[in-house]
Structure 1
Amino acid sequence: MAIILNLETATTNCSVSVSKGNEILCLKENNAADYSHSEQLHLFIKEALQGASLSFSGLDAIAVSKGPGSYTGLRIGVSAAKGLCFSLDLPLISISTLESMAHQVNLKEGEVVIPVLDARRMEVYSCVFDHQYKEIRETRAEIIDENSFGDYASFSKVHIVGSGAEKCQPILQAPNFNFDTTVVPSAKQMAILANQKFQKAEFEDVAYFEPYYLKDFVLQMKKNA
């Protein structure tokens, strides 16, 4: 089974795990509002490897959360992952930040989960997954209003989770909408997704890989301001 180092820095949670197959061998994380990833990430990598009784030579791949999320956080995580891949000659795996968040929710048939990350003002980054965690609507940056996610009101329950849920809760009044602001991206949920990609050899080009910023949306908003 593949042993993978998973890095999650897309939000305030600096999170590192070492996984073997779908099993977490060690997890180190700290959700701090000051975004101290530059100070903590490499320390957490060292501690996670020590906790798993491994060295860098025991790794088969590096997985990194690709976004969307904080520009600075993503740059730190991706730069670290690419540096390790180059120096260790390991493949790079990218994991959707929102998809790994979705896997924190236990879903029943007929339910959907919408991970939402706080962007700016009334904007969020969001994606929609069905009860099998299949993406049924692509990732978007959008402004929340009373009509947001109305296409999913017919489902038995709609789980809206993540930092952006705080913006959504006062505005979205459908009775089947359930809100959870405590869900944050974590390297713990990356293990299964990273292992699946490793088995399929779905690797990134280390030289050209860049985080997923949804930058076009941000530039458009600045232009219209």
Structure 2
Amino acid sequence: MAFILLIETATESCSAAISLEGKIISFRESSGGYNHSEKLTLFIDEAMDMAGIDSSKLDAVCVSRGPGSYTGLRIGVSAAKGICYALGVPLIAISTLDCLASHLADSLGDYNLPAEKPVLLCPMLDARRMEVYTAIYNHKGEKMSNIEAKIIDGDSFEDLIKEHEILIFGNGAEKCMSTLTSPGIQFIKEVEVSARFMSQLAYQRYQEKIFEDVAYFEPFYLKDFIATIPKNKIF
């Protein structure tokens, strides 16, 4: 049996879960703003308590590698690496967008989709300003394009919508709703980032022994961090 601790902190949601053989057996999460440093350790402890295990039973730790919030990713990765060091267990890292796409691919039957066009999945994460982190996946959740930071305009999917139905989802989708109005585009509102969606990909990597170097692993930020000065700064 493989118990894997799953950690997701790439967006304003903070979550931790325990999976057994690729299935979620406990989880704790909150979407109430960027307070991951306060909640993550508590959520990890509570998820293990709910699963009826202690840390000695963990076989691996899986963390969202990004892209996403700089601060959120640092908190999640630091926690995951610390646990791996302490327990001597392997570290697994999964793209935040891959997790979103995999989850929606598994639940496509829940949506009323046209039969005449193949479906493409387009998860989007807020990259601040007018950008989103995004990539294109097929209906199986397999990546078909590189992950990139893009400014979305009305022509962004012009070639794809001629032959495909495109499903857009994630916390970056809302900023594109007024721009992407073509009939071949659907917005799925209820799909958000969560540790619950990491279990199958994490277990697959565990079985294939696809592990990260704990000493050198860093989050996938995609963009360089840009510090800003608060608007109410008085000096």
Pairwise same-fold verdict (TM > 0.5) = yes
Question: Where does the alignment leave 5 or more consecutive residues of structure 1 unmatched?
Answer: 220-225
Q: Is the 8 A contact 1:144 1:167 kept in 2?
A: no
Select which of 162, 179, 184 maps to 1:154: 162
1:201 aligns with 2:209: yes
Report the 3-state secondary structure (helix = DSSP H, G, I; strand = E; otherwise coil) of the residue aligned with 1:136. coil
Give the match for residue 10 of structure 1: 10
Structure-2 separation of matches of 1:45 and 1:198? 20
Structure-2 separation of matches of 1:101 and 1:80? 22
Give the letter aligned to residue 178 of structure 2: P
Q: Is the 8 A contact 2:102 2:140 kept in 1?
A: no
Query: Residues 164-219 of structure 1: CA distance to partner in whole angstroms, max 9, x if unpaired?
Result: 11111111122021112432210001000000000100000000000000125x67
Q: Is the 8 A contact 1:112 1:155 kept in 2?
A: no
Report the 3-state secondary structure (helix = DSSP H, G, I; strand = E; otherwise coil) of the residue aligned with 2:144. strand
* Greater Cα shift, 155-164 or 200-209: 155-164
Give the match for residue 232 of structure 2: none
Give the match for residue 118 of structure 1: 126
Structure-2 separation of matches of 1:81 and 1:155? 42
In the TM superposition, 1:91-170 aligns within 5 A as 91-105=90-104, 106-107=107-108, 110-170=118-178
Q: CA deviation at 1:151?
A: 3.3
Report the 3-state secondary structure (helix = DSSP H, G, I; strand = E; otherwise coil) of the residue aligned with 2:213. coil
Identical-pair percentage = 49
Give the match for residue 65 of structure 1: 64
Q: Is the 8 A contact 2:92 2:212 kept in 1?
A: yes
Structure-1 separation of matches of 2:75 and 2:27? 19
Q: CA deviation at 1:112?
A: 1.2
Q: Is the 8 A contact 1:164 1:181 kept in 2?
A: no
Q: How many residues align?
A: 217
Q: Is the 8 A contact 2:16 2:43 kept in 1?
A: yes
Q: CA deviation at 1:150?
A: 2.5
* Greater Cα shift, 188-197 or 109-118: 109-118
* Structure index of larger Rg: 2
In the TM superposition, 1:71-82 aligns within 5 A as 71-82=70-81
Report the 3-state secondary structure (helix = DSSP H, G, I; strand = E; otherwise coil) of the residue aligned with 1:189. helix
Structure that is richer in strand per residue:
1
Q: CA deviation at 1:100?
A: 0.7
Q: Is the 8 A contact 1:123 1:144 kept in 2?
A: yes
Give the match for residue 25 of structure 1: 25
Report the 3-state secondary structure (helix = DSSP H, G, I; strand = E; otherwise coil) of the residue aligned with 1:128. coil
Q: CA deviation at 1:104?
A: 2.9
Q: Is the 8 A contact 1:119 1:125 kept in 2?
A: yes
Give the letter aligned to residue 31 of structure 1: S
Report the 3-state secondary structure (helix = DSSP H, G, I; strand = E; otherwise coil) of the residue aligned with 1:188. helix
Q: TM-score, normalised by structure 1?
A: 0.92
Q: CA deviation at 1:156?
A: 4.1
Query: Residues 31-55 of structure 1: CA distance to partner in whole angstroms, max 9, x if unpaired?
Result: 112x110000000000000000001
Structure-2 separation of matches of 1:60 and 1:151? 45
